[in-house]
Amino acid sequence: MKHISPYVQDFIQYLWLEKGLSENTRQAYLLDLQQFEAFCQRKGIQLRQVDGIHVGDYLQHLTEQALNKRSIARKLSSLKKFYQYLLLEGLTEQDPCAHIDSPKLSKSLPKTLSEQDVEFLLAEPDANDPLELRDKTMFELLYACGLRVTELVSLTLQQISLNQGVVRVTGKGNKDRIVPLGEHALEYLTLYLKTARMSLCQSTCDALFPSQRGRFMTRQTFWHRIKFYAQRAGIQVHLSPHTLRHAFATHLLNHGADLRVVQSLLGHSDLSTTQIYTHVAKQRLQQLHQKEHPRAHLK
């Protein structure tokens, strides 16, 4: 195992205790800081001795390694948060990242599916098969509620209220939000709980959607399930684990939903994070206009 500075260890612990960040997020910070510490060790520099020139050299090193701007920006963000923590704890007298700007990033539009492709994907699992009914119910919840994959696979029975037709989602920073299920999701969730779940969960597992081993499903397993059904449905669009979440937001906006309502449903703390979906929606509307409007093309 790589050597980890006690300052880094304390910082990762701080992210859990004080910030409530998820295991996946903490691991991402840890990896970024391990790589930076390894760079410093090769240069004979201690973490508390780092200055702006050292950070600049590290960013140059990452650029020479052909790392893309988005990855470099994320690693710089990890460093900034780490040194802000050291300042807060009185473990350093300066922030070596204070005057270093992040690389300029162009906003990449999230990949999404057309409403027709979503219908194809949702219709693909066989509701008569317990395993496929589980998958179909998961897809319905993702699309109806705009959940993150981590939020979905972490759901417990206690977070669902069939009577009220809502799900209580624990998002980033352990913040809870209540999201309506919608008719189709509620219908399949009710059927799944009455039939399929008991055959998949022989133990006392509290997971709403247990794996075949009766445990909480991993994000990777769910991602493989999405790819499996997309291939079976003949969907050619490139998919990501959050494809249905992106489709949820885009399709709501296409149908006139208020941006702040979508922000609340997605669990975004900052409206600017949600605003990128307005670009996707506008792009889709422009494509439809070009294709369908009788005067969109010159004769």
Q: Which active-site residues does the annotation give?
A: 148, 172, 242, 245, 268, 277
CA distance 20 to 9: 15
| 3-state secondary structure at position 132 | helix
CA distance 150 to 110: 18
DSSP structure string for 232-255: HHT--S---TTHHHHHHHHHHHHT
Nearest by Cα to 32 from 72, 1, 91: 72
CA distance 220 to 82: 29
CA dihedral 23, 29, 34, 35 (to 10 degrees): 130
Question: Pairing relation of β-strands 166-170 and 176-180?
Answer: antiparallel
Cα distance between the two ends of the chain: 67
CA distance 106 to 118: 27
DSSP structure string for 12-52: HHHHHHTT---HHHHHHHHHHHHHHHHHHHHHT--GGG--H
Amino acid at 296: A
Question: What is the enclosing helix (H) or strand (E) of 143?
Answer: helix 130-145
| 3-state secondary structure at position 170 | strand
Amino acid at 22: S
Query: Do residues 274 and 249 make contact, with C-beta atoms less than 8 angstroms apart?
Result: yes
